[in-house]
Structure 1
Amino acid sequence: MKKITTISSILISLIGFSSVTHADDLADIKAKGTLVVAVKADYKPYGYRNDQGEIVGLEIDLAQNVAERLGVSLELVPAQSSNRMQFLIDGKVDLLIATMSDKPERRELVYIADQAYYSSGSNIIAKKSSQYTSWGDLNGQKVCGIKGAFYNQETETTFGATIVPFGSSEESLAALKQGKCNAFVYDDSFIAGKLNDPQWSQDYEMPLPTINDNPWGLAVRLGEDNFHAFMNSTIIDWHKSGFILELESKYGLKNTPFALGMNGLYQ
């Protein structure tokens, strides 16, 4: 009898310890009054620094909308493809909205929302004089890429390119201009935004058909069911209200088939 009592006491202690140590991020955010979000700061127009050095962009507006819904202030943490998930896992941020493609292996590490908020595919930016017309033209070519980007491997293994990895898009673009690589493989959404700049559109282009169209997933920490459910309903409202379409127009983007389709789906 004494043994049973001892075991029961241990189980009760463990249950109590678990309930104390398992935090509810949504409640914690409201309690501290600040939402901390990992965003891109080098991915115009989704997340970039303006002339005053402030991080602005389409995804920053989404993050601000989340903060307003929660009634808290917003803190932005600039992140790269190589560290954005780790920031979330380590508790450096509460939420990740950073141009992340939704991949099964990523769902094992972070809690990606069920509904995608955006979508993009992969393409290249290269000099017009390169005259690339197909992905096969990259065979034997040096191609700049971002560390951690999923399409690097396919660009090498399927199309025969040699990836020259960099930590950010700005480093990759600088390397492209310096001739360290013949093209830069990245999201077509970023490239389209970059080609809105006459300094790039004059000599550079996005010449290939876009492939690997992938939904973008925002994420919270694994196990955060309340926060996850809140973000799912928020994303659906973004689509239903046309908020994503409005932000595309605000930042000089043509309304994408994905955003138009989602808006129509939820009407």
Structure 2
Amino acid sequence: MNGYIRTTALGATAALALSLGALAAAGTAEATTLQEVKDKGTLVVGVKADYKPYGYLDSDGKIVGIEPDLAKDVADELGVELELVPVQSSNRMQFLEQGKIDLMIATMTDTPERRKAVLIVDPNYYSSGTNVLAPKKAGFKEWTDLKGAPVCGIQGAFYNRKTEEEFGAEIVAFKGTAEALTALSQGRCVAFVYDDSFLISKLGEAEWSEFEIPLETIDDAPWGLAVAPGAEDFAAFMSDLAKEWHKSGRILELESKYGVENTPFAKKMHEEHKGS
């Protein structure tokens, strides 16, 4: 049944209700086993729909991106249909625990706390850290070059404090990335500090051709795909598949497909696994 994808669209109100309702839900669903996925003939995967290029809506309203493509790989390997469900950071683990999705591939940072809630698969499939997007002409080489300079950031982001306190920048905070990028393009700040996976994606766009990510990424944190607690057979299957993604260079291929410069993590993992 390769080639078939059905997208479940949750409106903003419905998504919020699900997220809030999850907190009051009594108990959790039993983990979906690998055989159960095969028996029902459909793999339900939670992905982002607002984080280009990892998961986003195209002009037709279809969820596309690096992670939906990985989800399609899983469905193809199992010989089942694929259903994509848009998730948010606030509900993605709850969707797994409640059985609303069988698998989650949704830009989730792997942390010890999250490993207590869901079954995160090893090896990690991706990673991101903190960096800046800045004009090439600025000539930044070190984080300390930002001292005393206005740097765009996102309100509430944890790296704002570090950029200010350790490197001496003056953070100009905005509510969202669109506002921060506009300010950067207008010269109201000399750089934009943010998640490097997002910043790297901007380099493939014409309007940012004179910009670069000049510094060494810091606070690198791996991303983990996950299944529900108790689904050990499914986790083992996904572990083997993740290893194959790294071995074959699939992650590097998808980065190139979606205009992302190959990340240090993806290149490192390919080198580590290609001889295995």
Instruction: Report the TM-score when normalising by structure 1.
Output: 0.73
- Residue 115 of structure 2 is aligned with which of 98, 101, 107? 107
Aligned 8 A contact 1:96 1:218 in 2: yes
Matched, 1:264 2:263: no
1:191 Cα deviation from its structure 2 partner: 0.6
* Alignment partner, residue 254 of structure 1: 261
Amino acid at match of 1:240: K
Q: Counterpart of 2:89 in 1: which secondary structure?
A: coil
- Residue 215 of structure 1 is aligned with which of 212, 219, 222? 222
Deviations 1:10-65 (A, max 9, x none): xxxxxxxxxxx973412332233222222222333222222222221111110000
Distance 1:256 1:176, change over 3 A: closer
Aligned 8 A contact 2:203 2:260 in 1: no
1:253 Cα deviation from its structure 2 partner: 3.2
Structure 2, unmatched stretches of 5+, are 1-27
1:124 Cα deviation from its structure 2 partner: 2.7
Aligned-CA RMSD value: 3.4
* Alignment partner, residue 199 of structure 2: 191
1:187 Cα deviation from its structure 2 partner: 2.1
For residues 109-258 of structure 1, the aligned pairs below 5 Å read 109-125=117-133, 134-135=142-143, 137=146, 143-145=152-154, 151=159, 154-155=162-163, 158=166, 164=173, 166=175, 169-170=177-178, 173=181, 184-202=192-210, 205-258=212-265
Amino acid at match of 1:58: I
For residues 14-29 of structure 1, the aligned pairs below 5 Å read 23-26=30-33, 27-29=35-37
Deviations 1:215-253 (A, max 9, x none): 221111222211111111111111222322322332233
| Count of residue pairs the alignment pairs up | 244
* Alignment partner, residue 20 of structure 2: none
Q: Which deviates more from structure 2 when the two are superposed, residues 174-183 or residues 92-101?
A: 174-183
Structure showing greater Rg: 1
Question: Matched residues in 2 for 1:171 and 1:87: separation?
Answer: 31
Larger fraction in helix: 1
Aligned 8 A contact 1:156 1:163 in 2: no
Distance 1:83 1:208, change over 3 A: farther
Question: Matched residues in 2 for 1:78 and 1:180: separation?
Answer: 34
1:163 Cα deviation from its structure 2 partner: 8.3
Question: Taking every aligned residue pair, what percent have the same amino acid on both sides?
Answer: 55
